[in-house]
Amino acid sequence: MTVTTGGRSTRGGDAGARIAEQLRGRILRGEVPPGTRIRQEDVAAQFGASRVPVREALRILEHDGLVTLVANTGAWVSRLTLAECDEIYQMRERLEPLLLRLSAPHLTEADLDDLQRLAERMSETSDVDEFLELDRAFHLGAYRGATTTQLGELVVKLWNTTQPYRRAYSRSMGADAARIVHDEHHLIVADLRDGDVDDAERVLAGHIRRTRRRLSRHPELFEALQA
């Protein structure tokens, strides 16, 4: 299947899907931080819905990696320890280059032009939230050519679970680190245009690994988000 950023479809659950879409956006934008309890009655009142579509929405978000459901207890916005985040980044470091390799032969010139524009816009913005939105669009856009049954969906889930910590890190990223990030985005596009998938994979793996190592040096980011 083509990589997407949305959740799974629901059976007769259009209302649940709509609620999930709204909550997903708020979580990914950092409006609802990790560890926040999500009360079904509050969500139902907010959206003017019964608890049935709210429960379906929470199941969708659990599938997305954004919500943790505890039986007979409730729902919380998912959160990670530093060790868990490190493990997820190690998974991404190995899985995303493979997804890029599967995608690359099917990317059109128009797709590559879109990636180039996203890379340029990222290097021009100083707004962290805009950068994160563009960064997500860039990487998932680079994978859009892949047809997979599980890998694409898994990668999106891994992106979802690390989003709050990527945001916290990006706010503290210095000018030198930012410049390297932007250069790597441009290198990936250049490699894809040249048909050098081996180097594109290498740059991408290093790109992810560098973020993982920098995050590991900032345990305070996880402590703050766990509070």
DSSP symbols for 28-48: HTTSS-TT-EE-HHHHHHHHT
pTM summary value: 0.85
Query: pLDDT by residue (tens digit) across 35-48?
Result: 999 999 999 999 99
Question: 190 Cβ partners below 8 Å, 6+ apart?
Answer: none
221: pLDDT strictly greater than 90: no
Query: pLDDT by residue (tens digit) across 154-208?
Result: 999 999 999 888 888 888 788 898 999 999 999 999 999 999 999 999 999 999 9
Tokens of 204: 């991408």
Cα–Cα distance, 227 to 222 (Å, whole number): 9
- Strands (DSSP E) along the chain, which ranges? 37-38, 67-70, 74-77
Cβ-based neighbour number of residue 14 at 10 Å: 11
**In the prediction, which pLDDT does 196 show?**
98
C-beta of residue 53 within 8 angstroms of C-beta of residue 19: yes
Place of tokens 């340029």: 120
Percent of the chain at pLDDT > 70 equals: 93
Report CA 118 to chain centroid distance, whole Å.
16
Handedness of CA 23, 34, 61, 158 (dihedral sign): positive
- The domains of the chain, with CATH numbers, are 14-77 (1.10.10.10), 82-226 (1.20.120.530)
Q: With bands split at pLDDT 50, 70 and 90, how would you rate the model's confidence at 224?
A: low
227: pLDDT strictly greater than 60: no
Query: pLDDT by residue (tens digit) across 67-112?
Result: 999 988 899 999 999 999 999 999 999 999 999 999 999 999 999 9
Handedness of CA 213, 214, 220, 222 (dihedral sign): negative
**In the prediction, which pLDDT does 6 show?**
39
